[in-house]
Amino acid sequence: MELQAMAAELGYNKTRITKLKAGSCSLTPTEVKYYSDKAELPFEETICELEVMKNPAAARVWGIAAMARNP
């Protein structure tokens, strides 16, 4: 699927997609969900990785959540 078609599904114009590609804006949780679904990736793991990349100290929070899910 082309980026333009994805933008249309989300109700965005091309400018938003261009900004995302350029890294000049952050993904919203809705966008993370949409793109992770398209890529057939688990949403929680995807958002966890994004959050930890932005803030490595958050790894402890996400790590505790991961341990609770997988004892």
36 against 20, higher pLDDT:
36
Reported confidence tier of residue 68, pLDDT bands at 50, 70, 90: very low
| Dist CA 71 CA 35 (whole Å) | 29
Mean pLDDT of 48-53: 86
Taking the whole predicted model, whether its pTM rises above 0.85 is answered as: no
Reported confidence tier of residue 1, pLDDT bands at 50, 70, 90: low
